Amino acid sequence: MEEPSEDKLFVAEKSKSNRAKCKKCKEVLNQGALRIAKVVANPFGDGKMMAWHHPQCLVTVFSKQRASTAKITCVDDIGGWDGLSMEHQNEILMTFPDIPKEKLKTHDDEEPGKKDTPNKKKPKAKPVPSSPPTQDYYFKDFRKLCLSLSQENSHLQKTAIFKEFIDKILSKEHSNETRAESMFLWCKMLLPNSEKRIYNLQSKQLIKLYSQLFKQNVNLMLEDLEKGDVAETIRIFFEKSNNVDVKPASKSTLTLAKVNSFLDKLSIETTEVAQTALFKSIAKLCTGNDLKMIIRLVMHDLRINCGPKFILGALHSDAYEAYQTSHDLKSVVQNACSCDSSKIASNGKMNIKLSLLTPILPMLAEPCKNLDDFFKKCPNGIYSEIKYDGERVQLHKSETQFKFFSRSLKPVLGHKVDLFKQYIPKAFQHGKEIILDCEVLMYDHKTNKPLPFGTLGIHKKSKFEDANPCLFVFDCMYYNGVSLLDRTIVERRKILMQNMTPIKGHIMFSEVKELHNTKELKLMVEHVLKQGLEGLVLKDLTGVYEPGKRHWQKIKKDYLFDGSMADSADLVVLGAWFGTGNKGGMMSIFLMGCYNEAKKKWCTVTKVHGGHDDKTLERLQGELKMIKISKDPEKVPEWLKCTKTMIPDFVAEDPKKMPVWEISGAEFSQAEVHTANGISIRFPRVTKIRNDKDWKTATSLTELQNLYEASKETNNLSIFSNLSPEKNTSSDNDLQSSPEKRNKIKRTLETAVTESSPLKMNTEIPVKRAKLSDERRRRLPDLFTGIRVVVPDSISKNTFLRYFIAYGGTPLNSSNELAPTHVIVQKKEHNRSSEKPMKEEKKEKKKSLNATAVCAQWFWDSIRKGTQLPTENYQ
């Protein structure tokens, strides 16, 4: 087995014999021909080996590999270049035309006159002024600090612990400059997400890498990883290492600077060989706990539950606010540690400004659940803005340079935003330096409407030939050298309107309306939900842009009336996954599904991990009868129809014996990864464990399909019926508005079940606040459990079905084998002469021989009263 002669990622040479074969085409590499090797890790032992290729085969390999994987970019990447003949060098240059020729330097090009002579004196280099040395800090002190922070629950106390710690250790520094440098190093390490070093290493990749370093069984390490802590798994197997060259150190001698340097190098390396070499070099200096903490730094999770607000709060009272604005940790720390009064504003706040091409934390919105009190906070009025169901994007433009950042401040994928670079200069003809807050969606040019969430994916975009990404701009934070953060939303919007020329379907304004009272707001909410849009964002007219703060408000359907308008279904637990972090090693994420009666298969609907408290989760570990399959496709039972991405760690022993849970969410949605006709629930959570139901009475696939279709019928939705132009009346005195009933839901629903005799009815559903317990209260009682009805076709059939199913009823198809318990008829219909043929009438009577005939009013009155009323008065 050959070892590479140089520390290069690629090696080129003349083939020495006819024994080696190309790793790509498997053909023999003829003696004397040019061959190029990729230097890879030796899978059979320590060290490296060379995987030889024909030059053209290596080009094919490069075209199919990831963008982050190393390629030949210049001749310096190739080991053995100087030993090649000119013929082979030219062959490489022709095969890889992207290699810069100006870097070309071979033994044939050397000029004797250029060589250094012993008598020739070299000019003396000018000394570079060096910064004062900082104090060396041991990595074990960092570990001890993290342990102290993790054991403290109070965030204020965490700040106090860090402040006491830095006052103690930084007292050794002799100048403000070294103090700031050391403080930046500590903050950088404690906040691994602030200085975002990207390693592209996931838990299973680390396990595979370290199993080779430690010479341990990778399957055993993966099994231990199921406990949810990759750092702890690596520590355990590090202490059992079978590799004599990689053993834990007896004493921790690592310094904080050494670890920081290692992380900087790791963020640059992209090949597995280079990453393995780095991990091996640092492991030799580590104890088990040292390596565990380094892995947590790589995973960007120290598990100390202490973010920038509480770390930076120990430096200066305004440090966190300055960091939110600038997102420049080094500048914030330097200003906080400086005693120069010129760097502190006259009002006592740190003078830190936003920086172009550096992302700032976006301003956020909190849920608005009470519309009546909203204008008490905003007496001057609000902007009501359409909440677009897309992806939040922060756009930075500096002359011809563009940068796009996501809500989490990561770079946005190019296929979503590259198109905008040609339109932004046209939309902002005079804007040289801009920072915009936007939402990017797919825009359909046929319907002139944005497409729903999830269509921006690179594979899904190809399905929409008449659509392209569109940027909806709703705020401007910086324009031509002037920060607009301290301007009101009215001023910012005015600047945006004056300087932006919209381009239909590419760069557009967000839709905004100015409101001044609750009635206007309720009508706007109703209008938006009727259109099937996600909701509204409300902004105070006098409000400024505050990065990172939730001072806007958002309204969505599932926020209204204490969540009673959320879409929900009663689903069966089909499987589970291991959790991570504190829930590692236990089932905490659950696969929910429904039964397909036609195909006798169970279908997946959603995976849910919210809604259970710790005690309930602990109890479920013993109650749920599961079989461990570890995401193995071959072990998926025949009764489960499941896509590859949804294969869980555990599946139910018998789905018909599993519990039924009520799952609520923002809306029913389409998700290709699920098999219930693609129906899923967005933002799911468990709202109740349905001990009163089993798999037979849980939501079936047919019922789920009806619920999905009914949820999309929003044209006749009237949430705030008392605000509609034509107010409905009722004979019941208890429907009159009163202070005690202002929080009740009021809807106007068209409840006709026959086209010839439409009936209109107000339905009022009192809402009670759900208590947090193991079994939460069901917001909609099961009034119609056991009642089966065949619903005749009408214009309001979907509305009727939605409420009937939500209150526990079972709709039947005409082909269903089960007999109905009730038949919907017009009032007093049995006293009127029938115009139907005798044969058809006899057929219907035979089918509903034991069914009770009622008019639709019985259902709506029962819902309004909250109990199942006697049917005598409705026949």
Write down the pLDDT at residue 196: 72
Q: Residue 726 is inside which H or E element, if any?
A: none
Residues 455-505 have pLDDT tens digits of 666 555 556 777 888 999 999 999 999 999 999 999 999 999 999 999 998
Catalytic residues: 387
pLDDT digits over 528-540, tens only? 888 778 889 999 9
Residue 105 confidence (pLDDT) above 50: no
% pLDDT > 70, the chain: 80
Nearest to 630 by CA among 175, 141, 226: 226
Distance CA 568, CA 704 (A): 10
Read out DSSP for 392-425? Answer: EEEEEEETTEEEEEETTSPBPPHHHHGGGGGTHH
449-450/433-444 β-pairing: antiparallel
Average pLDDT over residues 314-326: 87
Torsion angle defined by CA atoms of residues 191, 194, 199 and 203, in that order, rounded to the nearest 10 degrees:
50
**Chain centroid to CA 245:** 41
- Taking the C-alpha atoms of residue 302 and residue 298, their distance in angstroms, rounded to an integer, is 9
Give first-to-last CA distance, the chain, whole Å: 91
Report how far residue 60's alpha carbon sits from residue 43's, in angstroms, rounded to the nearest whole number: 23
Q: Which segments of 5-87 are extended strands (E)?
A: 10-14, 34-41, 48-53, 78-79
Indicate the SS3 state at residue 666: coil
Q: In this prediction, what percent of the chain has a pLDDT beyond 90?
A: 31
- What integer is the mean pLDDT of 760-788? 51
The per-residue b/e assignment along 752-787, b for 16 or more CB within 10 angstroms, e otherwise, is: bbbeeeebebbbbbebeeeeeeeebebbeebbbeeb
Q: How many CB atoms lie within 10 A of CB 493?
A: 22
C-alpha distances in Å from residue 510, one per residue of 7, 426, 528: 55, 18, 14
Separation of alpha carbons 39 and 49, rounded Å? 6
292-311 pLDDT per residue, tens: 999 999 999 999 999 999 99
Q: Quick check: 837 pLDDT over 80? A: no
- Which of 468-472, 745-749, 866-870: highest mean pLDDT? 468-472
Residue 662 CB coordination number (10 Å): 22
Within a 13 Å sphere around the CA of 602, how many CA atoms are in the beta-carbon half?
A: 24
Going by pLDDT thresholds of 50, 70 and 90, the confidence category of residue 349 is low
Residue 46: per-residue pLDDT: 64
Tell me the C-alpha distance between 845 and 851, whole Å.
9
- Cα–Cα distance, 720 to 561 (Å, whole number): 11
Answer yes or no: is pLDDT of 518 > 80.
yes
The per-residue pLDDT for 626 is 93
Cβ atoms of 312 and 336 closer than 8 Å: yes
pLDDT at 766 over 50: no
Residue 777 has pLDDT above 60, yes or no: no
pLDDT at 1 over 70: no
Name the pLDDT band for 45 (thresholds 50, 70, 90): low
pLDDT for position 460 = 56
Cα 297 to Cα 147, 153, 302, 327, 400: the distances in Å are 14, 21, 6, 20, 36
pLDDT digits (tens, 9 = 90+) for 56-88: 888 888 877 877 788 888 888 888 888 888 888
**Contact of 869 with 857, CB cutoff 8 Å:** no
Query: Is a pLDDT exceeding 80 seen at residue 758?
Result: no
**Is the pLDDT reported for residue 113 higher than 50?**
no
Between strands 679-682 and 667-670, the pairing is antiparallel
pLDDT score of 108: 40
According to the model, what pLDDT value does residue 132 have? 52
pLDDT one-digit tens code per residue, 198-213: 888 889 899 999 999 9
* Among 350-364, 596-610, 752-766, the range of highest mean pLDDT: 596-610
Full DSSP string of 279-345: HHHHHTT--HHHHHHHHHHHTT--S----HHHHHTTT-TTHHHHHHHH--HHHHHHHHH---GGGB-
Q: Residue 458, SS3? A: coil
Q: Span 14-20, mean pLDDT?
A: 83
Place of tokens 């959570």: 685
Residue from 317, 392, 375 nearest 350 by CA: 317
What pLDDT score does 502 carry? 93
In this structure, are residues 164 and 207 in contact, taking their beta carbons and an 8 Å threshold?
A: no
Q: Which of 292, 319, 297 is nearest to 308 (CA)?
A: 319
Total residues found in the chain within this entry:
875
SS3 of residue 706 by DSSP: helix
pLDDT tens track for 156-175: 999 999 999 888 877 777 77
CA–CA separation, 789 and 43 (whole Å) = 66
Lookup: tokens for 860:
């709506």
Mean pLDDT, residues 414-435 taken together: 90
For 668-677, write each residue's pLDDT tens digit: 888 888 999 9
User: CA-CA-CA-CA torsion for 165, 171, 176, 182, nearest 10 degrees?
Assistant: -50
Q: What is the mean pLDDT of residues 415-440?
A: 91
Q: What are phi and psi of 58, to 5 degrees?
A: -70, -35
Q: Check pLDDT > 60 for residue 730.
A: no
Average pLDDT over the chain, rounded to an integer: 79
**Distant-in-sequence, close-in-space partners of 291: CB < 8 Å, separation ≥ 6:** 234, 235, 238, 248, 282, 283
Residue range 241-296, pLDDT digits in tens: 888 888 999 888 899 999 999 999 998 888 888 898 999 999 999 999 999 999 99
pLDDT band per the 50, 70, 90 thresholds, residue 574: very high
Q: What are phi and psi of 484, to 5 degrees?
A: -110, 15
Give Cβ neighbours of residue 66 (< 8 Å, ≥ 6 apart): none
The C-alpha atoms of residue 546 and residue 225 are separated, in whole angstroms, by 41
pLDDT of residue 831: 41
Residue 751 and residue 860 in contact, taking contact as beta carbons nearer than 8 Å: yes
Are the C-beta atoms of 652 and 626 separated by less than 8 Å?
yes
3-state SS assignment for residue 578: strand
The Cα–Cα gap between 744 and 728 comes to 16
Rg (CA), the chain: 34
For the cut 50, the answer to whether the pLDDT of residue 37 exceeds it is yes
CA dihedral over 640, 785, 867, 791, signed as positive or negative: positive
Q: Which residue has the higher pLDDT, 115 or 381?
A: 381
What local confidence, expressed as pLDDT, does residue 606 receive? 93
Residue 828 has pLDDT above 60, yes or no: no
pLDDT attached to residue 797: 72
